[in-house]
């Protein structure tokens, strides 16, 4: 605990002479990406989307449904994965509490921040919100409160209170997201095994308290910033738990997917799976798969996820969560730039801030939140002034969705560098999870990680460029879809388009810069 309390803000970010730099995206790749963005602006035109699936999508859906039913033929598969994830989670806590304070030698920091959080963002596109199905926080909370990790329990389930109306938004998750980012980047818990373990225990405690007080799994739907981030990004995944035939759901009278049955709990996040309108709140827990009397629920593949957004309507808390996600994802990149140290020191000197420089960091973080919010609000206000008959809040909510692909694709591109460079040596850490009798990484080991990533540099750069271009194209297509649905001209929505272009170019510029290694 002493090591954590003595952390210095600048040291926690590995700045100065000890830091190693990842190479930034080469100029040639940036040029190619910019050319692709210009082409997208010229050639992408709005087109009418329908809810019909093509032949390939239908066959793929049927295949995934069959595979899903095979894997989920018994809940014991999910139980086994939950037990495994929970066992690893408990090992992380033990390593953080009792292991070495050297972050790159301790399982708590290397697994949590280098592999899990970087890897889970990448995996969302291919697995949707599957992580939530095996989340160890929820598994432990269910065991502590209900003494079950599956099936209905005869044990008293707590107070089962309805969540107050003022909390039935994403604002609590937004507040947690901001708080976790402040802890991660401000106090440097990513480089403290002890702090990482304490945070893990805190999350389990919060999940358990929520389960004791509120009905179903209120923490998953309203409070968990990790779940809401995964849920938001899962909107962009072609894979999701959904009904195979919507007509079957439309004729269903029992709605077991929502109410549950004699053995299976009701949907933990209050979803009627047949409606398919709130995929961002689905935790892929499988309850609807096993409770459906028609065997009509399973994994589906949608060839064009844009179809999903035809009837997607964002409320204010959801819209602002996307903007916060975009802002703080970019802020992560800013704090890893070599210029960050000089910016912090210069501002701290001006503010007469000393010690851990938390006032200076908090100021920069507030700016990172408020500047994008102000720019977006101004763009929406200009559009609303020229678009009579459309409320300001409706424009603000509806046009937040096109910002999501920009955040998602940059998040993956940024995480690729961490995952491919900083995860080296993980097998050694796994063999000695507490880091007993270990020393910090030598300069030679740091250079080896820098020179020999898990993927060749050119492959990393190629993937990053493709991701940034795809994110921009995706964003433009969503923007055009929203514009057409609201019957707005290109001129009226030009300010919003400029926000999309500006956010994309800023994130591309961040990738162009060299980035300081965390471990």
State residue 73's pLDDT score.
55
- Are 380 and 399 contacting, i.e. CB atoms less than 8 angstroms apart? yes
State residue 40's pLDDT score.
92
Instruction: For residues 292 and 468, give the distance between their C-alpha atoms in angstroms, rounded to a whole number.
Output: 40
State residue 65's pLDDT score.
53
State residue 498's pLDDT score.
97
Residues in the chain, overall count: 519
- Are 516 and 21 contacting, i.e. CB atoms less than 8 angstroms apart? yes
Closest CA to 360 of 175, 180, 186: 186
pLDDT digits (tens, 9 = 90+) for 161-202: 999 999 999 999 999 999 999 999 998 899 999 999 999 999
Task: Say which residue, 317 or 7, is predicted with more confidence.
Answer: 317
Average pLDDT, integer, range 118-147: 92
pLDDT category at 5 given cuts 50, 70, 90 is very low
Average pLDDT, integer, range 45-56: 53
pLDDT category at 56 given cuts 50, 70, 90 is very low
* Domain spans, the chain: 314-425+442-519
pLDDT digits (tens, 9 = 90+) for 283-323: 998 889 889 998 888 877 776 666 777 667 889 999 999 99
pTM of structure? 0.91
pLDDT category at 12 given cuts 50, 70, 90 is very low
Instruction: For residues 416 and 30, give the distance between their C-alpha atoms in angstroms, rounded to a whole number.
Output: 17
pLDDT digits (tens, 9 = 90+) for 58-110: 545 455 555 555 555 567 888 899 999 999 999 999 999 999 999 999 999 99
pLDDT category at 341 given cuts 50, 70, 90 is confident
Q: Give the Å distances, CA to CA, from 7 to 1, 330, 357.
A: 10, 24, 11
Instruction: For residues 403 and 412, give the distance between their C-alpha atoms in angstroms, rounded to a whole number.
Output: 15
- Are 74 and 151 contacting, i.e. CB atoms less than 8 angstroms apart? no
Closest CA to 408 of 222, 237, 240, 276: 237
State residue 51's pLDDT score.
46
341-367 burial code (b ≥16 CB/10 A, e <16): beebeebbeeeebeebbeebbebbbee
- Are 128 and 240 contacting, i.e. CB atoms less than 8 angstroms apart? yes
DSSP string, 85-147: HHHHHHHHHHHHHHS-S-GGG-HHHIIIIIIIHHHHHHHHHHHTTHHHHT-HHHHHHHHHHHS
State residue 77's pLDDT score.
82
Mean pLDDT of the chain: 87
- Are 364 and 344 contacting, i.e. CB atoms less than 8 angstroms apart? yes
The residues pairing with 300 across neighbouring beta strands, listed in sequence order, are 240
Q: What is the 3-state secondary structure (H, E, C) of 287-318?
A: HHHHHCCCCCEEEEECCCHHHHHCCCCCCHHH
The residues pairing with 301 across neighbouring beta strands, listed in sequence order, are 239
Task: Say which residue, 282 or 49, is predicted with more confidence.
Answer: 282
State residue 2's pLDDT score.
41
pLDDT digits (tens, 9 = 90+) for 225-268: 999 999 999 989 888 888 888 889 989 989 999 999 988 999 99
What is the percent of the chain where pLDDT is above 90? 59
Average pLDDT, integer, range 451-458: 85
Instruction: For residues 30 and 472, give the distance between their C-alpha atoms in angstroms, rounded to a whole number.
Output: 13
Give, as one character, the DSSP assignment of residue 274.
T
State residue 226's pLDDT score.
96
Instruction: For residues 94 and 512, give the distance between their C-alpha atoms in angstroms, rounded to a whole number.
Output: 38
Is 14 a residue whose pLDDT tops 50?
no
Is 436 a residue whose pLDDT tops 90?
yes
The residues pairing with 22 across neighbouring beta strands, listed in sequence order, are 515
Instruction: For residues 439 and 510, give the distance between their C-alpha atoms in angstroms, rounded to a whole number.
Output: 33
Task: Say which residue, 152 or 332, is predicted with more confidence.
Answer: 332
Task: Say which residue, 421 or 405, is predicted with more confidence.
Answer: 405
pLDDT category at 49 given cuts 50, 70, 90 is very low
Is 137 a residue whose pLDDT tops 60?
yes
């Amino acid at each position: 605990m002493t090591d954590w309390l003595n952390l210095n803000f600048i040291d926690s970010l590995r700045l100065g002479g000890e830091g190693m730099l990842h190479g930034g995206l080469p100029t040639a790749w940036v040029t190619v990406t910019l050319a692709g963005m210009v082409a997208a602006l010229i050639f992408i035109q709005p087109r009418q989307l329908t809810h019909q699936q093509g032949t390939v999508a239908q066959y793929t859906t049927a295949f995934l449904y069959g595979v899903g039913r095979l894997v989920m033929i018994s809940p014991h598969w999910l139980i086994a994965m939950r037990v495994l994830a929970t066992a690893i989670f408990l090992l992380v806590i033990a390593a953080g509490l009792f292991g070495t304070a050297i972050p790159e030698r301790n399982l708590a920091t290397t697994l949590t921040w280098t592999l899990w959080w970087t890897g889970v963002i990448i995996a969302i596109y291919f697995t949707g919100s599957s992580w939530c199905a095996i989340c160890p926080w929820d598994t432990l909370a269910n065991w502590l409160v209900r003494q079950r990790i599956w099936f209905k329990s005869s044990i008293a389930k707590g107070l089962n209170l309805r969540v107050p109306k003022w909390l039935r938004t994403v604002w609590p998750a937004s507040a947690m997201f901001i708080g976790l980012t402040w802890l991660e980047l401000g106090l440097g818990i990513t480089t403290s095994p002890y702090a990482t373990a304490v945070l893990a225990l805190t999350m389990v405690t919060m999940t358990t308290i929520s389960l004791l007080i509120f009905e179903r799994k209120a923490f998953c739907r309203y409070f968990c910033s990790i779940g809401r981030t995964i849920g938001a990004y899962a909107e962009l995944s072609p894979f999701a738990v959904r009904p195979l035939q919507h007509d079957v759901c439309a004729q269903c009278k029992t709605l077991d997917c929502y109410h549950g049955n004699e053995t299976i709990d009701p949907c933990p996040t209050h979803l009627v799976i047949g409606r398919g309108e709130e995929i961002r709140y689905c935790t892929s827990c499988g309850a609807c798969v096993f409770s459906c009397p028609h065997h009509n629920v399973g994994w589906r593949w949608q060839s064009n996820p844009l179809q999903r957004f035809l009837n997607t309507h964002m409320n204010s808390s959801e819209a602002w969560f996307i903007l916060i996600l975009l802002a703080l994802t970019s802020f992560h990149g800013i704090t890893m730039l070599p210029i960050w140290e000089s910016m912090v020191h210069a501002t701290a000197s001006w503010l007469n801030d000393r010690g851990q420089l938390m006032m200076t960091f908090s100021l920069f973080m507030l700016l990172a939140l408020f500047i994008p919010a102000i720019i977006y609000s101004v763009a929406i206000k200009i559009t609303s002034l020229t678009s009579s008959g459309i409320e300001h809040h409706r424009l603000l909510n509806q046009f937040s969705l096109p910002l999501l692909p920009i955040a998602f694709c940059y998040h993956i591109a940024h995480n690729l560098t961490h995952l491919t460079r900083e995860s080296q040596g993980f097998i050694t850490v796994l063999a000695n999870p507490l880091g007993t009798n270990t020393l910090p990484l030598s300069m030679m080991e740091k250079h080896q990680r820098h020179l020999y990533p898990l993927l060749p540099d050119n492959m990393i750069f190629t993937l990053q460029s493709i991701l940034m271009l795809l994110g921009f194209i995706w964003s433009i297509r969503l923007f055009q879809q929203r514009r057409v649905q609201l019957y707005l001209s290109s001129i009226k929505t030009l300010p919003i388009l400029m926000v999309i272009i500006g956010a994309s170019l800023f994130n591309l510029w961040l990738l162009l810069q060299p980035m300081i290694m965390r471990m």
